């Protein structure tokens, strides 16, 4: 039997606790997420054992890959040797081969690529694939088109999600789609599957509404986080240098009981500086 999203909330929380993430106390005045938020960086699809060792020494808990097309055997060997997991994969074809394309054959090709990324995520021990569901691009690719076309293709992937135990996590970006948190919430709810949730990017959507408001409105739909900063004067920038109000972000994450992966996309002048900034701003 297929569960809907609401039925799955309690089982998801149980699974996270079993994975070694302690339940989050909601009454703490100063949010501390050590042991509750796991720190990661984008890594790509090829093994680089020297960087993996450095990341582990700096206190990172894992990395996130990019697929399909990853060097699975080499990655698995390197990850195992260092003892650092790859928690998921970013679907690297979602921009050019879009689920929202006016062409049916392109939509099908994108779905097949997404399924390949899901299999690669499973192969390296991941739990998710990050997906940008399309792009608003004119009269043949409107907001309504992106909504309906992407949902049609994503629903076809849900049986494979259930088989592999891999989540499809939707990310909102500057693609003209779901630029209000209420829209993003309603999009996830319309799909109505526990296997399709939100991968919220803290910096991406600061341009459209404060990030802590997105987190509050999305609630428990957010299973993973991308970590960025953005400001009206700075654009994308090093963590802590933009307009994101990190204390409010932590407070909203605390209220929803967030526990899981937070992955840095972008640079701060080196992995060492990134590790330090993530610790400070996320309370790790």
pLDDT band at 10 (very low <50, low <70, confident <90, very high): very low
Q: What is the mean pLDDT of residues 23-36?
A: 55
178 Cβ contact list (under 8 Å, min separation 6): 172, 184, 187
CA atoms of 14 and 16, how far apart (whole Å): 5
Domain that holds residue 15: 5-282
CA atoms of 39 and 60, how far apart (whole Å): 5
Q: What is the mean pLDDT of residues 257-265?
A: 97
Query: Residues 71, 76, 82, 85: what is their CA dihedral angle, to the nearest 10 degrees?
Result: 100
Mean pLDDT score of the chain, rounded to an integer?
Answer: 91
Does this model's pTM top 0.75?
yes
The number of CA neighbours under 13 Å toward the Cβ of 209 is: 16
Whole-angstrom CA distances from 44 to 91, 95, 104, 211 are 11, 16, 29, 26
Task: Using the predicted structure, report yes or no on whether residue 13 has a pLDDT greater than 60.
Answer: no
Residue 68, preceding peptide bond in cis (omega within 30° of 0): yes
Task: Using the predicted structure, report yes or no on whether residue 121 has a pLDDT greater than 90.
Answer: yes
Domain count, the chain: 1
Q: What pLDDT score was predicted for residue 32?
A: 77
Do the bridges between strand 235-237 and strand 229-231 make them parallel or antiparallel, or are there none, so unpaired? antiparallel
Q: Which two tokens stand for residue 83?
A: 């003892």
Q: Three-class SS of residue 164?
A: helix
For position 246, which CATH number holds? Answer: 3.20.20.150
pLDDT band at 151 (very low <50, low <70, confident <90, very high): very high
The string of pLDDT tens digits covering residues 37-64 is: 999 999 999 999 999 999 999 999 999 9
pLDDT band at 119 (very low <50, low <70, confident <90, very high): very high
């Amino acid at each position: 039997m297929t569960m809907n999203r609401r039925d799955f909330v309690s089982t998801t929380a149980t699974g996270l606790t079993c994975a070694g993430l302690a339940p989050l106390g909601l009454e703490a005045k100063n949010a501390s997420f050590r042991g509750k938020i796991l720190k990661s960086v984008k890594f790509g699809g090829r093994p680089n054992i020297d960087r993996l060792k450095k990341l582990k020494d700096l206190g990172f808990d894992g990395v996130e890959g990019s697929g399909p097309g990853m060097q699975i055997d080499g990655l698995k060997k390197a990850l195992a040797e260092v003892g650092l997991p790859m928690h998921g994969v970013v679907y690297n074809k979602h921009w050019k081969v879009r689920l929202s394309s006016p062409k049916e054959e392109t939509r099908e090709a994108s779905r097949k690529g997404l399924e390949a990324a899901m299999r690669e995520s499973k192969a390296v021990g991941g739990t998710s694939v990050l997906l940008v569901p399309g792009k608003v691009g004119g009269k043949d690719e409107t907001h309504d088109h992106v909504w309906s076309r992407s949902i049609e293709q994503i629903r076809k992937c849900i049986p494979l999600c259930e088989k592999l135990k891999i989540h499809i996590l939707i990310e909102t970006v500057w693609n003209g789609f779901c630029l209000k948190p209420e829209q993003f919430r309603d999009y996830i709810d319309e799909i109505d599957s526990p296997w399709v949730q939100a991968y919220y990017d803290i910096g991406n959507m600061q341009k459209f509404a404060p990030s802590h408001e997105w987190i509050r409105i999305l609630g428990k739909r957010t299973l993973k986080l991308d970590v960025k900063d953005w400001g009206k004067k700075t654009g994308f920038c090093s963590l802590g240098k933009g307009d994101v109000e990190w204390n409010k972000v932590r407070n909203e994450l605390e209220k929803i009981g967030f526990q899981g992966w937070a992955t840095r996309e972008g640079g701060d002048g080196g992995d060492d500086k990134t590790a330090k900034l993530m610790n400070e701003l996320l309370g790790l």
